[in-house]
Structure 1
Amino acid sequence: MKAAPFAYVRPTRLEDAVNELAGSDGGGKVLAGGQSLVPVLAMRLARPEKLVDITTVEGLDQLRSTGDSLEVAAMVRQRRVEHDRATDSVPLLRMALPWVGHRELRSRGTVCGSLAHADPAAEIPAVAACLNARITLTSPRGTRQVPAREFFTGAMTTALGSEDILTAIRFPVATDGEGFGFAEIARRHGDFALAGVAVRVAVSGERVREATLTAFGVSDRPVTRDVSTELASAVSASGQDGVRLAARLPEPLADIAQGMVDTDGDAHGSRDYRRRLFVTLSGRELAKAHDRALRGINGDNP
């Protein structure tokens, strides 16, 4: 199939892009990397009246550290973020990016585009939710920031209004005493995840201060849960032995899975199968993140 007819504009100023989108009366779509939008157009699952191409808008290609955060603007490609040393300050993002599609797609796809598309099995939205990154939306009424955990409202549904352009995201940088973990299971590398987890653990000395677990591919959006109590209890019972810790976590995580994994399942995996994947991945990555937090080490995810 081919896309239905549409108008096309390519502004060079953000103000003009915002006005073009607002002038479409809800019939416009923003085009950035196009790795999600173009296939949807080709299958006529979306029929926008106008495409607002932001690839030449000034200022939307910035990737910069701002002290306590890493700011990724709307036109920054995933491949660039994957290989830029600035991303070392956000270890969880660096762990997740190699799992996003294939490198050819990451060379065109944008970080912000993945957020706006909001696929429930996507890696970048899960990282944003786990870290509760702040998403910047720009409209004719000005600029506002939305916490990532409030941004995703359903399957491919977000807090984006019909006049909003997602112009940037700010990921908080890692601090001392934090450790991270990321893993997913898919039929083949680059396929949609059957289940995946993003994990952040913060410690004070040897005490668990905070533990956050975000699951993706198991519901209609990234699902985040504070598991500080469960992790602290398992650490208390197992000491600092990572193997024993990972062995103790499945029991409490099995109860958590009942609420977090609510997909109906499909031909590739039932709800119960995805719950088992979630429990296994969560236990392993929580143990790894805890160990990394204690040692102050966050290398590439093995």
Structure 2
Amino acid sequence: MIAKHFNYFAPGSIPEALDLLRKFGNDAKLLAGGHSLLPMMKMRFAEPVHLIDMQNIAELKGISVRDDVISIGAMTSENNILRHEPLAELCPLLMEATKWIADPQVRNKGTIGGDIAHGDPANDQPAVMLALDATFHIVGEKGKRIVAANDFFLGTYLTDLSAGEILARIEISKQAGARQWGFRKLKRKTGDFATAACAVSLNVNGDVCSDVRIALTNLGPTAFRARKAEWVLEGHKPTPERLNAAVQLAMQSTEPAADQRGNEEYKTAMAGEMLHRALQDAIARK
């Protein structure tokens, strides 16, 4: 199928984009990399009357490091994240997870902000943002606001972004980026969404775990933190018994949907396996 007729706009600034959103309301959709929205338009699952392309807004692109903060423009492509060499040291979890997103062609156009704002439970960056305690800077007609990743993902294709708002940038503290980390993703082939994936960040000081973050991908209606699994490790030595208990609690928190990648039982089992490996990776990076 082909998309229904729409009007195309390519504003050059955030105020221009906000003006268009205010003018057209719910009849407008924002276009980032297009890998999620355009297929939905071709299948007529989405039929925006007006399409607002964000590619020409330079202030939404780029990566900067200042003081204790890593700031990433929402329209920064996944490949540009991989090309930013300082991130390999400052935030290796983000770099590793980004390598696993789809394929090079998709990463060349796909943006970190689009990955986050789409609210797809199968997208990779939401769990990474949860594991890194990221904050999202949002602009709209009423001004600017900051939302923690923990409060942003509300359900399948549902986020805290309101009509008329734009995700402008993502911020991660250097302290969070420097934690020990693990990332594991099971997928059937290159370019596929995860059958199950997890992002882990933590510190191990004096053989005791702290700042434990465990986030899961494609194992529920949205990316989510396995808080009971975090709790069983927080403040304790990461013994094999503790790790196994965390894995079991995380598996119990999943709500995978059966599809061509497997049934609920298989996905739950793979969630446990991916998490066990990611935890071992993180602890080994002491």
TM-score bracket relative to the smaller structure: over 0.9
Shift of 1:72: 1.1
Asked if 1 retains the 8 angstrom alpha-carbon contact of 2:131 and 2:200, the reply is yes
SS at match of 2:237: helix
Deviations 1:52-79 (A, max 9, x none): 1121123122211122221111221110
Matched, 1:269 2:256: no
Shift of 1:215: 0.7
In 1, Cα distance between equivalents of 2:283 and 2:196: 21
Shift of 1:233: 8.4
Q: How does 1:108-257 map to 2 (within 5 A)?
A: 108-174=109-175, 178-226=179-227, 227-231=229-233, 235=237, 238=239, 245=240, 249-257=243-251
Structure 2: any 5+ residue segments left out of the alignment? none
Q: Cα RMSD between the aligned structures?
A: 2.0
Greater CA drift, 60-69 or 92-101: 60-69
> Does the C-alpha gap of structure 1 residues 68 and 165 become closer, same or farther in structure 2, counting only changes over 3 Å?
same
Asked if 1 retains the 8 angstrom alpha-carbon contact of 2:186 and 2:197, the reply is yes
Shift of 1:174: 4.0
Shift of 1:48: 0.8
Shift of 1:29: 0.8
Asked if 1 retains the 8 angstrom alpha-carbon contact of 2:217 and 2:223, the reply is yes
Asked if 1 retains the 8 angstrom alpha-carbon contact of 2:138 and 2:167, the reply is yes
> Does the C-alpha gap of structure 1 residues 209 and 38 become closer, same or farther in structure 2, counting only changes over 3 Å?
same
In 2, Cα distance between equivalents of 1:8 and 1:147: 32
Asked if 2 retains the 8 angstrom alpha-carbon contact of 1:90 and 1:172, the reply is no
Asked if 2 retains the 8 angstrom alpha-carbon contact of 1:126 and 1:198, the reply is yes
In 2, Cα distance between equivalents of 1:97 and 1:176: 14
Asked if 2 retains the 8 angstrom alpha-carbon contact of 1:65 and 1:86, the reply is no
SS at match of 2:272: helix
The number of aligned residues is: 284
Shift of 1:118: 1.9
Asked if 2 retains the 8 angstrom alpha-carbon contact of 1:160 and 1:166, the reply is yes
TM-score between both structures, scaled by the size of structure 1:
0.88
Identity rate of aligned residues, in percent? 28
